Homo-oligomer: A and B are copies of this chain.
């Protein structure tokens, strides 16, 4: 008897096992003939995803069964599933043949017309509410909001472009599509288009397939061949598409761990993250609705931002939403400063008074139109605090968010100091800025300025929002925002001093 397990976990298992054998749905649903045909080959060709799908709820529950649940327990939001699909499992054919006429990537495949890229429009056949919510989510527009913003493009080009040594210094060429797909667009989403058809030999003979640009990609704002935006599989990973995976922080961490939006790093050192990591093995990540205290002891990302939460009595605490900022008054991500959230998920139309495509002035003030009102901020704040109230008193919650608002103010003020230093530097010609028709991201000192807001101010704010001070001070936060300011100031002094006495070799102003 080398090892024991905790009595708590065993209680869970014993009770759970009893419930399982008495109340769970059948382990598999009838499979349509078309899907049987798919599986017939693909069980040999790509056995991993077939097995994965067989473990999914889609394989076990028919839409008709799903509709028999009380409204609050449903995972399906359509009143009726597509014609002819109600009584079978949601299999290969049910999704990959849906809306065939809308899909330029539809092709003839062993007697069936199928398409490769299942889009949110396809998922909407059974999940229309989620699709509608997500369409109004900033994330659905992540491709266009980046690619359609000249300022952001300028940053992306300085990162992904090809730097080379030239004339004793550096030269920059435009980035290539493969690099862009592998970099920013990996999360923001690529544009997937059909470039034609190509025949190739396969294990089952020669076949013809559409050739896609920007493939593969699971970015949240992927532009699909059918013109829709987004990829449900970003979070509900293929081919289980499970709520269990989407509710795990690891899912969000794929795009929200880096120092620009370090939610996962902050969560890991928060009390919520501590409890998640320590106790998650006994939590239920599949229940709908999700009941704080009963199914989990502390929230994951989804718990605060997405999931339908209810009390054990079925009273709704928070409605499900796939517009991820429904419970968020402030956009902590500062390009260049934190600000009230944009009113529209398409942010390409935002302009500050200087004509820059930003939600803020370079001196920090939010733009005069295009952001949510103070009233809307209050409503979102209320929704979030309702979630907190499952476990926390009002004084606790108010105290927490007062610190967040203060953190937004102080980190924005730090960025303002950095920006004023940079404005002086551009003005003095120590760096080449917008007035010189140059990118503001392609010089070392400009990157120091970028780090101030993109990394350190953002990180400090995320830490404040989620109670992760260990990350928000010495790991990547306030210590570094202040050190960055000091560094920026001293670098400008050195640049001034260097300019005062140019070495003979350099014909042009420094830098």
Contacts and interface: CB of A to CB of B under 8 A. Distances in A.
A331 B48 CA distance: 28
Contact of A511 (B20, B218, B490): B490
Interface residue tally of chain A, by bracket?
Answer: 35 or more
Contact of A274 (B186, B237, B499): B237
A447 B424 CA distance: 23
B478 A159 contact: yes
Interface string A461-500: 0011001011111110111001101110111011111111
A194 to B, nearest CB: 12
A253 interface: yes
A447 B487 contact: yes
Interface in A181-202: 181-184, 186-187, 200, 202
Contacts of A410: 162, 176, 179
Interface stretch (A30-38, A84-92, A354-362, A399-407): A399-407
A250 B273 contact: yes
Nearest to A216: B396
A54 B470 contact: no
A5 B13 contact: yes
A409 to B, nearest CB: 9
Contacts of A505: 428, 496
Given A48-B293, A493-B510, A497-B501, A474 B258 contact: yes
Interface stretch (A121-129, A282-290, A336-344, A345-353): A282-290
Interface stretch (A94-102, A130-138, A373-381, A438-446): A438-446
A394 interface: yes
A486 B158 CA distance: 10
Interface in A1-17: 1-17
A277 B11 CA distance: 23
B414 A482 contact: no
Nearest to A17: B10
A399 B165 CA distance: 30
Contacts of A245: 274-275, 278-279
Given A159-B478, A268-B257, A417-B165, A5 B10 contact: no
Contact of A443 (B237, B292, B447, B490): B490
Contacts of A497: 497-499, 501-503, 506, 510
A29 to B, nearest CB: 14
A69 interface: no
A292 B427 CA distance: 60
A399 B164 contact: no
17 contacts: A3-B295, A4-B12, A5-B12, A8-B55, A49-B391, A50-B293, A159-B479, A161-B482, A163-B414, A164-B417, A178-B406, A186-B469, A212-B395, A216-B392, A244-B278, A444-B490, A490-B511
Q: Which 10 A-B pairs have the closest CB atoms?
A: A51-B293, A186-B469, A48-B391, A497-B498, A165-B420, A250-B277, A5-B16, A500-B503, A48-B390, A258-B474
